[in-house]
Structure 1
Amino acid sequence: MPRTPDDSPCPAYGVRPARRVSVDPQGPVLIEGPVDIVLDDGTVARSDRFTVAICTCRRSRTYPWCDTSHRRRERTTPPPEDRNP
């Protein structure tokens, strides 16, 4: 197979470099972009970002892209005290 000067497969011969995918059980799937995502209805969502976060919980309002809806919402400050006697 022909190779480029940096010893990677030459894309001109139909060999595409592998994409790195990171799977986090508590979060999204991270994929080195750009990516095309084919949805259930056949439409294609495209992102040209360097790294793309793909939603796996389906809670995202921007599905298929992750908007961190999978995170538990916890209060960082205590609730205000009841000021009524």
Structure 2
Amino acid sequence: MRLDREGGPILVDGPVEVVTEDGVTHFSHRPTVAVCTCRRSARYPWCDTSHRARAPKKADAPDCPEEEPR
């Protein structure tokens, strides 16, 4: 398991079984699963990148990532 980035999902090697607080069990047979940690996902407990819409921008981060030379 590894944290993708601050405020983002936790990436877990699959298959994965997640039991939510309400006792519902969710399964995924994918090779890697992004588990939501912010609870903004419409597909909770799976991440749908909803955290990106509300994540504060860092002052030193560029608006667009630069492409690496090929």
TM over 0.5: yes
Q: What residue ranges of structure 2 are gaps of 5+ in the alignment?
A: 55-70
Following TM superposition, the consecutive aligned residue runs of length 4 or more in structure 1 with deviations greater than 4 angstroms are none
- TM-score, normalised relative to structure 1: 0.59
The number of residues matched between the two structures is 53
Q: Which is bigger in relative contact order (C-alpha 8 A, separation at least 6)? A: 2
Percent identity for Structure 1 against Structure 2: 57
Q: What residue ranges of structure 1 are gaps of 5+ in the alignment?
A: 1-20, 74-85
Q: Give the CA deviation at 1:26.
A: 3.2
> What is the one-letter code of the residue matched to 1:37?
V
Name the Cα RMSD after superposition.
1.2
**Counterpart selection for 1:53 from 34, 56, 59:** 34
